[in-house]
A and B are shown apart, each in its own frame.
Chain A
Amino acid sequence: MTAPGTAVDTFDPRASVARAPRVSFTRALALDLATAVVLWRRDLVRFFRQPSRLIGALGQPIIFWVVIGSGMSGTFHYGPAGPGYLAYFYPGVVIMVVLFAAIFTTLSVIEDRHRGFLQTVLAGPGSRTALVFGKALGSASVALSQAALFLALAPAAGFPLGAVRWPLLFASLALVALALAGLGFAVAWVVDSPQGYHAVQMTLFVPLWIVSGAMFPVPADRPVLASIMRANPVSYGVSAVRRALAGEGAPGALPGSAARDVFVCLAFAAFGLALAALASRRAPRP
């Protein structure tokens, strides 16, 4: 370790001292679990305590669905016997609910870590990765709760609740929600200003939703756009929701199977969470 010309008796305090007695592995695991559960619980308590958020969670997608859906229904034609636009657009709005929930719940991270409860968590004994998982679980749970409210309208869109494949719907929505929460967290952590956060969300994440097949199907005569849509992981979330609501061969679903859709969503979630965990290692500004 000694560079040539360096005095050998130079005292390196780090070299001479035994490592700190570490918090045991099981204890560390328990602390991380506690951290994740605390953050998860907190997001849910906050969500259900604010009636305005509950109303907004239901009102905003309904308006979106009905207004855009009605406006487009005259010009939209999906094959000879295809669905009307309101039915086509509905699964896309379900994913939009999840996207917006992820955007709003992770936006709070910016304020929360400088002047809020996240400071307590950061200074607590849990790891940053546990913090990320707790926050993502909280955000995803809020997103799923909002989606559940909106899904009560599925029969109105022509999807009887009895025919819905709930496990597929739940799995795909939960994975997309975790992925978007992870990405939102990473953006919030790195950008660290609400303005910058919104700029990134509007230029990156909202377009991701627009080219996911939520609003229009993959166009056969636009190869560039078609490949973008097939490369977009959110497309597979939308596709899975279509299959959950209208069966394996649902109109607008990507060619392939529900299992493939869920697998892509799983990879997307893993990517989003890993990115968030990586971002969280950056020190907060003091």
Chain B
Amino acid sequence: MNEPARGRSPASSPPRLSVEGLVVRRGPREVLREVSLFVNRGEILGLLGPNGAGKSTLFSILSGLIPAASGVVRLDGHALERGARDLRAASGIVFQSSALDGKLSAEENLRLAAALHLVPRSEARERTLSLLERVGLAPRAKEPVERLSGGLRRRVELARALVHDPSILLMDEPTTGLDAASVKDFWAEVLSRRREKGTTVVLSTHRPEEAEHCDRLAVLFSGRIVADESPQALRERVQGDVVVVEAEAPEQVAAEIGRRLGLKAHLRDDGVHVEHERGHALVPRIVEAFPPGRLKAVSVRRPTLADAYLFLTGASLEAEEGRAV
């Protein structure tokens, strides 16, 4: 199951960034267990998993912030030295939490970030202005960042990560707190960078709609990679359709579907799920199996990435994975 479905790079050109056998322990708990994955140049890799699955830890290792207890991180096939300076020099990073100075303006934050990467002064000024323009912040570029709304600050974060023109973009839950329009703009920017400059992108997310933008998804569950394939391949793991039954007493309804129709029903957040080859044919059978009034709604849909995640792990993507394992 760990075998990537596609995208394996030929031996002549190693992946842009890869990790092998990463293990991270926190006390007795293994946060990451033998995690291996890679991302090729110009590829967008999504780390999919609920909070607590180990995404942020993996992300911290990929950004060179923490070392793993064991395992190796490679940049262009070369094992990284302690300190991971080469990786940090090549990467632009968007953290889950803020990495801005609230007392300084967006412009100052970007200029300082550019200075860290030795971007020449005039070039830094130009890039700062054009990036803030592109993320729609030009009018408020000189205000202290702490006065901006959460969504606007998030856009500054993206601009900050891009200001030194990184060839690798690492983003931990980058669109948290953004409205739908901003998410769209955000992805337009990321995709255009990839298209024009071949930027390699790794992002973690627990949002299925965001995962759809990725070329490949690595599904994390309890510190392991349980799947590594394209969004389409992942969705196709769920056979047929998903029939969602909403009812007052979903536990009983799930049990009765099992008993009366001989089908496997799963209790989920939004109702009882039944996976079936021909969902539309199943709907009337379910409706007729229950007296009027027992069911609130029965619907059929194509499986989503959230369904695929449920199918793979038995856990919901939106929920927090239990801290006590």
Contact across chains for A13 and B72 when beta carbons are under 8 A apart: yes
Chain B residues lying within 8 Å of A77, measured Cβ to Cβ, are none
Contact across chains for A120 and B99 when beta carbons are under 8 A apart: yes
CB-CB contacts below 8 Å: B182-226 with A: none
Q: A34-B116, A37-B115 are in contact. Are A283 and B66 (CB under 8 A)?
A: yes
Among B56-64, B228-236, B258-266, B273-281, which stretch is in contact with chain A? B56-64
Which of B63, B72, B79, B97 has the most chain A CB atoms inside 10 A of its CB?
Answer: B79
Q: How far is the CA of A286 from the CA of B91 in the complex (A)?
A: 18
Chain A residues lying within 8 Å of B7, measured Cβ to Cβ, are none
Q: Interface size class for chain B?
A: 35 or more
Q: How far is the CA of A34 from the CA of B116 in the complex (A)?
A: 6
Identify B103's interface contact among A35, A46, A128, CB under 8 A.
A46
Main secondary structure of the interface of A (DSSP, over half): helix
Contact across chains for A20 and B75 when beta carbons are under 8 A apart: yes
Nearest residue (CB) in B for A124 is B116
Chain A residues lying within 8 Å of B89, measured Cβ to Cβ, are 23, 31, 125
Nearest residue (CB) in B for A283 is B66
Q: How far is the CA of A126 from the CA of B72 in the complex (A)?
A: 21
Q: Does chain B have a CB within 8 A of A116? A: yes
Contact across chains for B118 and A31 when beta carbons are under 8 A apart: yes
Q: Does chain B have a CB within 8 A of A67? A: no
Contact across chains for B85 and A23 when beta carbons are under 8 A apart: yes
Contact across chains for A19 and B78 when beta carbons are under 8 A apart: yes
Contact across chains for A17 and B79 when beta carbons are under 8 A apart: yes
Chain A residues lying within 8 Å of B66, measured Cβ to Cβ, are 283-284, 286
CB-CB contacts below 8 Å: A93-146 with B: 114-117, 119-128
Q: Does chain A have a CB within 8 A of B20? A: yes
Identify B99's interface contact among A28, A31, A45, A123, CB under 8 A.
A123
Contact across chains for B116 and A120 when beta carbons are under 8 A apart: yes
Chain A residues lying within 8 Å of B101, measured Cβ to Cβ, are 42, 46, 116-117
Q: A20-B79, A20-B80, A38-B115 are in contact. Are A124 and B88 (CB under 8 A)?
A: yes
Chain B residues lying within 8 Å of A119, measured Cβ to Cβ, are 95, 97-99
The 6 A-B pairs of least Cβ separation, nearest first, read A20-B78, A119-B99, A125-B89, A124-B116, A117-B101, A286-B60
- Using a CB–CB distance below 8 Å, which chain A residues touch chain B? 13-14, 17-23, 27-28, 30-31, 34-35, 37-38, 41-42, 45-46, 49-50, 114-117, 119-128, 283-284, 286
Contacts A21-B86, A128-B83 supplied; 12 other A-B pairs, CB < 8 Å: A19-B78, A27-B118, A31-B85, A34-B115, A41-B112, A46-B103, A117-B100, A117-B109, A123-B63, A123-B95, A283-B65, A286-B66
